[in-house]
Chain A
Amino acid sequence: DSGVTQTPKHLITATGQRVTLRCSPRSGDLSVYWYQQSLDQGLQFLIQYYNGEERAKGNILERFSAQQFPDLHSELNLSSLELGDSALYFCASSALRGGGNEQFFGPGTRLTVL
């Protein structure tokens, strides 16, 4: 158990819909990262927040957005969903903001868009 929690575990929705994925980092960790894992793209970094502020952006679509709240939990919002958005979405957390720090991964949310 990494200490990172993600809800829900599974999400099935239809094209055009909007969903919100939630992540609670390990106690004390200030950085939260979001990743998308799919068969064709592999593991792709989406976005990082550090102590409430956006720190780094990766291959995140404009239809996707995220935020980190004062209690440090984070939400990833996916809108106007397409079939290709079906994937496993991971959240990870680390104590610091730099690249050399170990990231602890949650169990993921499996999104299926029908």
Chain B
Amino acid sequence: AQSVTQLGSHVSVSEGALVLLRCNYSSSVPPYLFWYVQYPNQGLQLLLKYTTGATLVKGINGFEAEFKKSETSFHLTKPSAHMSDAAEYFCAVSDRDTPLVFGKGTRLSVIA
């Protein structure tokens, strides 16, 4: 069975600082990996995804993530945090035939 662990239920950064949200996965087959963002009172929006190919994936709003098979990780980064980045972030894993399995989420706060 697949699973996702997001380290840190709450991360707080200063505006302009590096954002790093950690995600480790478990999968017995080559995984597909996703990061979704959820703003208050809204549904989830896809930030980026990795299926095959280049391991460094660029997404919307300046976010990127790197698939590291040896570390079973897919951490999300952004060089400079903006106030509008404050939201809940979810890492998810699937494979060719299975639905998404989500982590418990990390709430990102950005301090002015």
A residues with CB within 8 A of B: 2, 4, 33, 42-43, 45, 48, 56, 58, 90, 92, 98-100, 102-108
Contacts and interface: CB of A to CB of B under 8 A. Distances in A.
Most chain A CB neighbours (cut-off 10 Å) among B45, B51, B100: B100
Contacts of B36: 105
Given A102-B49, A107-B43, A43 B97 contact: no
B94 A2 contact: no
A79 to B, nearest CB: 23
A83 B104 CA distance: 22
3 closest A-B pairs by CB: A99-B94, A105-B43, A43-B102
A103 B100 contact: yes
Contact of B45 (A2, A43, A58, A98): A2
B46 A98 contact: no
